[in-house]
Amino acid sequence: MVLKRLRKVLQGFVEKVERVVQKAAEKATTKTISEKDVDEFLQDLLMELIESDVAFETAEKLVEELRKRLVGLQVPRGADTRKILEGKVHEALVELLKTGWRHIDLVSEAKEKCRRGEPLVIVFLGVNGVGKTTTIAKFAYMFKKAGLTPVIAAADTFRAGAQEQLRLHAERVGAVFVGGRYGADPASVAYDAIQMAKSRGYCVVLVDTAGRMHTDIDLMEELRKIVRVAKPDYKVLVVDALTGNDAVEQAKFFDEAVGVDFVVLTKFDADAKGGTAISVVDAIKKPILFLGVGQRYEDLEPMEPEKLVAKLLS
C-alpha cells in the first residue's frame, strides 16, 4: 500500500543476492553478504525513503541500521532470500516505530481515576486543518461507547465556528459540551469543564485548543496556560499524514513548547506514502498510538507497530 516503491528497490536487491548466492554455491553452501553487496541497494533505498516523505535524518538512520543488519548476514543456498531480507527491513521499521510505544488503555484509566473522584483529562494540540476537531469527536465516541460520558471543552475561543462544530459533534455522540464566548480565556473554559466533570461524576474531559504555530507568541503562551491550569493526564498531538515533513516540524515544535505524550496520525487511509508516521516518531521519540482512518466516529484505530509496518510494506 504505502512505501510500495521501497518494495521495488528491495526486489532488485533480492535478485542480486540470489545471483550472488547461486554463484557462491559452487564453492560453499552459504553466502555472507558484504558491504559491497549492499551499497547500491542502500543508496537506492535512501532515495526512495525520502521520496516517501521520510525525513532525511530518519532515512539515513534507517539505512545505517539496515547496513548493520545486512552486512555479515549469511544466506544459505536454497533459502528464501526474499523472506530473509524483507524480514530485516521489517525488523528495522518496527524497532523505530516502537520508540516510546506502550499499550495505553484510556478507558480503563478513566474508570480508575473516576473511582478516585477525578476525571481523565486529555488536551489536544495541533495546527488548523489536521482533523483535530474530528479526532476529539472520535475520542468522545470511543469513551461513550465504553459507557463513559465525556465532557468536551471547547477551549478554542479564537477560531470562528470552532464552538459550533464541537457542540454539534457533542450532540451527535452524546457528550456534554462546555464552551465559552468568542475571545474568552481558553484556560477558564478548560477549568470550568474539569470542575463540572468533578461535581457531576463525569470520568473524561477532552479539551480542544486553537490551532497555532510558533509564529503566534500570544497563542503559544495561551496554550501553555491551558496546560498549567488543566494539568492534563495526556497531551495529544494531532498531525495530518499527508503533510510529510511539515508534520515533523509541527511535532518538534509542540513537543518543545508544552511536551507531547503521544500522537494521533489522521487521514492515514488517504496517505499514499507513509513516511510521515516513521519520521514523526523518530523526531520526538514519542509514539503514535492512534490512526485516523476515515470520517466516521468509529474510524479511529490503535496503532500497533507490527501491523502498521506490514501495511506500509504491503
Residues that constitute the known binding site for GTP: 126-133, 208-212, 266-269
**Binding site, annotated residues:** 126-133, 208-212, 266-269
Q: How many CB atoms lie within 10 A of CB 4?
A: 15
Residue 20 grid cell: 550472488
Residues 178 and 206: their CA atoms lie apart, in Å, by: 10
- Name the β-bridge partners of 121: 205
Candidates 297, 265, 203, 295; CA nearest to 2 is: 265
State the CB neighbour count (10 A cutoff) for residue 164. Answer: 11
Cell numbers for 152, please give them. Answer: 468536551
Give the Cα separation of 199 and 203 in Å (integer). Answer: 11
Q: Are the C-beta atoms of residues 226 and 143 closer than 8 Å to each other? A: no
